Amino acid sequence: MSELGLCSRREADEWIAQGWVRVDGKIVAELGSKVLPQQRITIERQASAEQSKRVTILINKPMGYVSGQAEDGYKPAVVLVNAESRWQEDQAPQQFHPKQLRSLVPAGRLDIDSVGLLVLTQDGRVAKQLIGEDTSIEKEYLVRVKYGKPGQLPEADLKLLNHGLSLDGKKLLPAKVRWQNEDQLSFILREGKKRQIRRMCEAVGLKVIGLKRVRIGNVKLGDLPTGQWRYLGADEQF
Protein backbone atom coordinates (compact mmCIF):
# COMPACT_ATOMS: atom_id res chain seq x y z
CA MET A 1 0.00 0.00 0.00
CA SER A 2 2.87 2.32 0.83
CA GLU A 3 4.71 1.44 -2.39
CA LEU A 4 1.57 2.21 -4.41
CA GLY A 5 1.46 5.66 -2.80
CA LEU A 6 -1.92 5.03 -1.16
CA CYS A 7 -0.71 5.94 2.32
CA SER A 8 2.19 5.62 4.75
CA ARG A 9 3.08 2.31 6.38
CA ARG A 10 1.65 3.50 9.69
CA GLU A 11 -1.62 4.54 8.03
CA ALA A 12 -1.77 1.15 6.29
CA ASP A 13 -1.51 -0.61 9.67
CA GLU A 14 -4.32 1.57 11.08
CA TRP A 15 -6.60 1.02 8.07
CA ILE A 16 -6.08 -2.76 8.08
CA ALA A 17 -6.86 -2.88 11.82
CA GLN A 18 -10.06 -0.89 11.17
CA GLY A 19 -11.14 -3.27 8.39
CA TRP A 20 -10.93 -0.55 5.74
CA VAL A 21 -8.74 -2.51 3.27
CA ARG A 22 -9.93 -5.08 0.74
CA VAL A 23 -7.96 -7.34 -1.60
CA ASP A 24 -10.01 -8.55 -4.56
CA GLY A 25 -13.11 -7.42 -2.68
CA LYS A 26 -12.37 -9.31 0.56
CA ILE A 27 -11.55 -7.49 3.80
CA VAL A 28 -7.97 -8.13 4.96
CA ALA A 29 -7.61 -7.83 8.73
CA GLU A 30 -4.18 -9.39 9.24
CA LEU A 31 -1.10 -7.15 9.20
CA GLY A 32 1.66 -8.32 6.86
CA SER A 33 -0.68 -10.24 4.55
CA LYS A 34 0.93 -11.05 1.20
CA VAL A 35 -0.62 -9.52 -1.93
CA LEU A 36 0.19 -10.80 -5.40
CA PRO A 37 0.98 -8.31 -8.21
CA GLN A 38 -2.21 -9.15 -10.12
CA GLN A 39 -4.47 -8.68 -7.08
CA ARG A 40 -6.40 -5.44 -6.57
CA ILE A 41 -6.28 -3.40 -3.36
CA THR A 42 -9.26 -1.14 -2.62
CA ILE A 43 -9.78 1.25 0.27
CA GLU A 44 -13.07 1.95 2.07
CA ARG A 45 -14.47 5.47 1.97
CA GLN A 46 -13.83 5.96 5.68
CA ALA A 47 -10.07 5.73 5.06
CA SER A 48 -10.19 8.31 2.26
CA ALA A 49 -12.31 10.62 4.44
CA GLU A 50 -9.87 10.22 7.31
CA GLN A 51 -6.93 10.95 5.02
CA SER A 52 -8.55 14.06 3.55
CA LYS A 53 -8.69 15.61 7.04
CA ARG A 54 -4.91 15.34 7.43
CA VAL A 55 -3.12 18.65 7.06
CA THR A 56 0.25 19.75 5.74
CA ILE A 57 1.66 22.94 7.19
CA LEU A 58 4.40 25.21 5.83
CA ILE A 59 6.30 27.20 8.42
CA ASN A 60 9.04 29.81 8.11
CA LYS A 61 11.28 28.40 10.83
CA PRO A 62 13.30 30.95 12.80
CA MET A 63 16.77 30.26 14.17
CA GLY A 64 16.92 28.48 17.53
CA TYR A 65 14.18 25.90 16.90
CA VAL A 66 14.79 22.26 16.06
CA SER A 67 12.81 20.54 13.30
CA GLY A 68 11.64 17.49 15.24
CA GLN A 69 11.77 16.37 18.87
CA ALA A 70 12.90 18.89 21.52
CA GLU A 71 16.62 18.51 22.26
CA ASP A 72 19.26 20.20 24.44
CA GLY A 73 16.66 22.62 25.80
CA TYR A 74 15.61 23.83 22.34
CA LYS A 75 11.94 23.80 21.37
CA PRO A 76 10.60 22.01 18.28
CA ALA A 77 9.19 24.13 15.45
CA VAL A 78 5.71 22.62 15.97
CA VAL A 79 5.25 24.80 19.10
CA LEU A 80 4.99 27.77 16.72
CA VAL A 81 1.83 26.33 15.15
CA ASN A 82 -1.25 27.88 16.77
CA ALA A 83 -4.21 30.03 15.76
CA GLU A 84 -2.41 33.30 16.55
CA SER A 85 0.70 32.56 14.46
CA ARG A 86 -1.19 31.56 11.30
CA TRP A 87 -0.31 33.92 8.44
CA GLN A 88 -3.17 36.37 7.89
CA GLU A 89 -2.84 36.06 4.12
CA ASP A 90 -3.32 32.27 4.14
CA GLN A 91 -6.08 31.57 1.60
CA ALA A 92 -6.73 27.94 2.66
CA PRO A 93 -10.31 27.25 3.86
CA GLN A 94 -9.26 25.09 6.84
CA GLN A 95 -9.91 26.29 10.37
CA PHE A 96 -7.12 25.62 12.83
CA HIS A 97 -7.88 23.02 15.50
CA PRO A 98 -5.44 21.66 18.11
CA LYS A 99 -6.15 18.07 16.93
CA GLN A 100 -4.23 19.00 13.75
CA LEU A 101 -1.09 18.95 15.92
CA ARG A 102 -1.50 15.21 16.54
CA SER A 103 0.99 13.17 14.50
CA LEU A 104 2.23 16.38 12.85
CA VAL A 105 5.82 15.53 11.94
CA PRO A 106 8.58 17.26 9.95
CA ALA A 107 9.05 15.98 6.39
CA GLY A 108 12.77 16.71 6.25
CA ARG A 109 15.26 18.45 8.51
CA LEU A 110 16.27 22.06 8.88
CA ASP A 111 19.16 22.62 11.29
CA ILE A 112 18.72 24.66 14.47
CA ASP A 113 20.93 27.43 13.04
CA SER A 114 19.17 27.44 9.65
CA VAL A 115 15.96 29.26 8.76
CA GLY A 116 13.25 29.12 6.14
CA LEU A 117 10.76 26.65 4.71
CA LEU A 118 9.95 23.63 6.89
CA VAL A 119 7.15 21.18 6.08
CA LEU A 120 5.14 19.60 8.90
CA THR A 121 2.59 17.00 7.85
CA GLN A 122 0.06 14.46 9.12
CA ASP A 123 -0.07 12.90 5.65
CA GLY A 124 2.21 9.91 5.15
CA ARG A 125 2.04 10.34 1.37
CA VAL A 126 3.61 13.81 1.64
CA ALA A 127 6.34 12.56 3.99
CA LYS A 128 7.18 9.70 1.63
CA GLN A 129 7.29 12.07 -1.34
CA LEU A 130 9.71 14.45 0.39
CA ILE A 131 11.95 12.13 2.41
CA GLY A 132 11.45 8.68 0.90
CA GLU A 133 14.53 6.83 -0.32
CA ASP A 134 13.72 7.43 -3.98
CA THR A 135 12.72 11.09 -3.73
CA SER A 136 14.09 13.38 -6.42
CA ILE A 137 12.38 16.58 -5.26
CA GLU A 138 14.67 19.61 -5.34
CA LYS A 139 15.30 21.76 -2.30
CA GLU A 140 16.67 25.29 -2.82
CA TYR A 141 18.73 27.27 -0.30
CA LEU A 142 20.25 30.74 -0.17
CA VAL A 143 23.60 30.51 1.61
CA ARG A 144 25.65 33.48 2.81
CA VAL A 145 29.33 32.54 2.93
CA LYS A 146 32.77 33.88 3.78
CA TYR A 147 35.92 32.62 2.01
CA GLY A 148 38.76 31.77 4.39
CA LYS A 149 41.59 32.54 1.94
CA PRO A 150 42.70 35.70 0.11
CA GLY A 151 40.81 36.50 -3.09
CA GLN A 152 37.75 34.69 -4.39
CA LEU A 153 36.70 31.06 -4.48
CA PRO A 154 38.41 29.46 -7.50
CA GLU A 155 36.14 28.34 -10.34
CA ALA A 156 37.41 24.76 -9.90
CA ASP A 157 36.08 24.73 -6.31
CA LEU A 158 32.68 26.02 -7.47
CA LYS A 159 32.61 23.11 -9.93
CA LEU A 160 33.43 20.75 -7.06
CA LEU A 161 30.41 22.05 -5.14
CA ASN A 162 28.27 21.22 -8.18
CA HIS A 163 29.66 17.70 -8.52
CA GLY A 164 32.60 15.76 -7.20
CA LEU A 165 32.46 16.01 -3.41
CA SER A 166 31.95 13.06 -1.08
CA LEU A 167 30.61 12.98 2.48
CA ASP A 168 31.08 10.06 4.88
CA GLY A 169 32.81 8.11 2.12
CA LYS A 170 29.88 8.40 -0.29
CA LYS A 171 29.75 10.52 -3.45
CA LEU A 172 27.13 13.27 -3.38
CA LEU A 173 24.50 13.56 -6.11
CA PRO A 174 25.07 16.40 -8.60
CA ALA A 175 23.90 19.76 -7.22
CA LYS A 176 23.28 23.17 -8.80
CA VAL A 177 25.40 25.79 -7.08
CA ARG A 178 25.88 29.33 -8.38
CA TRP A 179 26.68 32.78 -7.09
CA GLN A 180 23.69 35.07 -6.36
CA ASN A 181 25.99 37.97 -5.44
CA GLU A 182 29.52 38.36 -4.10
CA ASP A 183 28.84 36.67 -0.75
CA GLN A 184 25.75 34.55 -1.38
CA LEU A 185 25.35 31.21 -3.14
CA SER A 186 22.22 29.43 -4.34
CA PHE A 187 22.26 25.66 -3.66
CA ILE A 188 19.75 23.29 -5.27
CA LEU A 189 19.99 19.75 -3.87
CA ARG A 190 18.14 16.46 -4.41
CA GLU A 191 19.32 14.89 -1.15
CA GLY A 192 19.58 15.99 2.46
CA LYS A 193 22.48 14.56 4.42
CA LYS A 194 23.06 15.94 7.91
CA ARG A 195 24.51 19.47 7.72
CA GLN A 196 25.28 18.77 4.08
CA ILE A 197 25.63 22.33 2.79
CA ARG A 198 27.83 23.46 5.69
CA ARG A 199 30.10 20.43 5.22
CA MET A 200 30.26 20.95 1.44
CA CYS A 201 31.27 24.57 1.98
CA GLU A 202 33.91 23.63 4.56
CA ALA A 203 35.44 21.23 2.05
CA VAL A 204 36.30 24.15 -0.28
CA GLY A 205 37.27 26.68 2.40
CA LEU A 206 33.96 28.51 2.74
CA LYS A 207 32.34 29.31 6.09
CA VAL A 208 28.53 29.48 6.17
CA ILE A 209 27.30 32.69 7.82
CA GLY A 210 23.59 32.16 7.13
CA LEU A 211 21.42 29.47 5.51
CA LYS A 212 17.80 29.82 4.39
CA ARG A 213 15.63 27.25 2.58
CA VAL A 214 13.41 29.04 0.08
CA ARG A 215 11.84 26.22 -1.97
CA ILE A 216 10.89 22.54 -1.82
CA GLY A 217 9.89 21.21 -5.24
CA ASN A 218 7.24 23.56 -6.65
CA VAL A 219 6.40 25.09 -3.25
CA LYS A 220 8.14 28.35 -2.38
CA LEU A 221 8.60 30.13 0.94
CA GLY A 222 7.46 33.35 -0.73
CA ASP A 223 6.37 36.16 1.62
CA LEU A 224 5.54 33.92 4.58
CA PRO A 225 6.85 35.87 7.61
CA THR A 226 9.41 34.37 10.01
CA GLY A 227 7.77 32.34 12.78
CA GLN A 228 4.41 32.16 10.97
CA TRP A 229 2.75 29.30 9.08
CA ARG A 230 0.13 28.47 6.48
CA TYR A 231 -1.59 25.37 5.11
CA LEU A 232 -0.43 23.70 1.91
CA GLY A 233 -3.15 24.68 -0.55
CA ALA A 234 -5.37 22.10 -2.28
CA ASP A 235 -3.98 23.30 -5.62
CA GLU A 236 -0.31 23.08 -4.53
CA GLN A 237 1.93 20.09 -5.17
CA PHE A 238 5.57 19.59 -4.31
Show which residues are catalytic: 111
Residue 27 makes CB contacts below 8 A (sequence gap 6+) with: 19, 21
CA separation, residue 179 to residues 70, 114, 149, 208 (Å): 35, 19, 17, 14
Helix (H) or strand (E) holding 130: helix 124-131
* Sign of CA pseudo-dihedral 221, 227, 228, 229: positive
Cα 109 from Cα 130, distance rounded (Å): 11
Determine how many CB atoms are found less than 10 A away from the CB of residue 124: 24
Using left for φ > 0, alpha for ψ between -120 and 50, and beta otherwise, residue 162 falls in alpha
